[in-house]
């Protein structure tokens, strides 16, 4: 699978590679942000703990959605 990813990455144009890297960057940022919202002790915004967990889970689910989109776009 990794070898297939590398060969399809090399076949992409410069614009396609740039957009793939940006997509992976945002995927990681949404995942880290979701984890920070859930596990940060002193969150800068005043939110109840239940809402913080819901918002963090929402961000993590969105990052998984982006991951699926990147995988599906990479198969083309």
More confident residue, 22 or 8: 22
* Token pair listed for 27: 């995927």
Distance CA 66, CA 56 (A): 15
Q: Is residue 18 part of a domain?
A: no
Q: Is residue 2 part of a domain?
A: no
* Per-residue pLDDT band at 6 (split at 50, 70, 90): low
Q: Is residue 19 part of a domain?
A: no
**pLDDT value at position 76?**
60
What is the full DSSP assignment across 6-23?
HHHHHHS-HHHHHHHHHH
Q: Is residue 49 part of a domain?
A: yes
Q: Is residue 34 part of a domain?
A: yes
Q: Is residue 6 part of a domain?
A: no
pLDDT for 9-36, tens place per residue? 677 788 888 888 898 999 999 999 999 9
Q: Is residue 13 part of a domain?
A: no
Domain that residue 48 falls in: 26-76
Distance CA 71, CA 19 (A): 13
* Per-residue pLDDT band at 75 (split at 50, 70, 90): low
Q: Which residues contact 23 (CB under 8 A, 6 or more apart)?
A: 66, 69, 70, 73
Question: How many domains is the chain built from?
Answer: 1
**pLDDT value at position 17?**
81
């Amino acid at each position: 699978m990794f070898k297939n990813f590398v060969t399809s990455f090399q076949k992409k144009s410069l614009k396609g590679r740039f957009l793939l890297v940006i997509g992976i960057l945002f995927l990681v940022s949404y995942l880290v942000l979701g984890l920070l919202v859930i596990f940060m002790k002193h969150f800068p915004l005043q939110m109840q703990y239940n809402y913080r967990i819901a918002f963090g889970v929402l961000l993590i689910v969105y990052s998984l959605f982006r991951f699926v989109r990147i995988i599906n776009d990479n198969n083309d």
